[in-house]
Amino acid sequence: MDVFNVISKRQSYRGTFTDAMVSREDLIKIVQAGLDAPSGCNAQSTSFVIVDKPTLIASIAKLLGDRVVCKTAKAMIVCVCDKKPVYGKLSFYIEDCAAAVENMLIAIAALGYSTVWLDGVIRGDVGVEIGKLLNIPAELEVRVLLPIGVAQTQTAKPAKKSFDERARFA
């Protein structure tokens, strides 16, 4: 699938997923795209826990208030950050994780699935609880969760500013 086509068509999905499964083969392709992202000082600070057991998905969905996009997800990818500094006092773990997530969003769209980047809603206690469920060491931060499946009905894309409102030649 053409890269510019996928990038321009990708959009967030917060609705119900159909019963169609997400194969492990596809989950591995998606996470491989995440691993292929660059990271500051090549620290590779993001790691990935892939959830496809229905009972575990249900437990995580419950922590997220049973929102439909989680409850009906056929798989979830949990992104975990190692926050330690890598360049003087600087750490690039937020950037590293976001770049990996963006690659995975593109991979998910390319394979015909949908997802939404859940971040703010798992910050703090919810993330800590998800970490305990998945046996993630407490010193790492559970930062992003991607619920994955096939969209039941595609929703409209949110309005975006034009090129000229956000970009200019100097």
Binding site for a second copy (CB under 8 A): 1-4, 6-8, 10-12, 24, 27-29, 31-38, 40, 42, 44, 46-53, 56, 78, 87-88, 90, 92, 94-99, 101-103, 105-107, 110, 117, 119-120, 123, 134-135, 158, 160-161, 163, 166-170
Nearer to a second copy, 139 or 163 (CB): 163
User: Contact 108/30 with Cβ under 8 angstroms?
Assistant: yes
Neighbouring residues of 141: CB distance < 8 A, sequence distance ≥ 6: 80, 81, 83, 93, 127
Nearer to a second copy, 35 or 128 (CB): 35
CB of 102 to a second copy, least distance (A): 4
Nearer to a second copy, 71 or 123 (CB): 123
Nearer to a second copy, 49 or 61 (CB): 49
CB of 5 to a second copy, least distance (A): 8
Nearer to a second copy, 68 or 134 (CB): 134
Q: Is 163 helix (H, G, I), strand (E, B) or coil?
A: helix
Q: Which residues of 124-136 are buried (b: 16+ CB within 10 A; e: fewer)?
A: eebbebbbebbeb
Could you give the CA distance from residue 3 to residue 17 in angstroms, rounded to a whole number? 25
Helix H or strand E encompassing 63:
helix 54-63
CB of 92 to a second copy, least distance (A): 7
Give phi and psi for 144, each to the nearest 5.
-135, 145
CB of 13 to a second copy, least distance (A): 11
Could you give the CA distance from residue 50 to residue 78 in angstroms, rounded to a whole number? 6
CB of 78 to a second copy, least distance (A): 8
Could you give the CA distance from residue 19 to residue 162 in angstroms, rounded to a whole number? 37
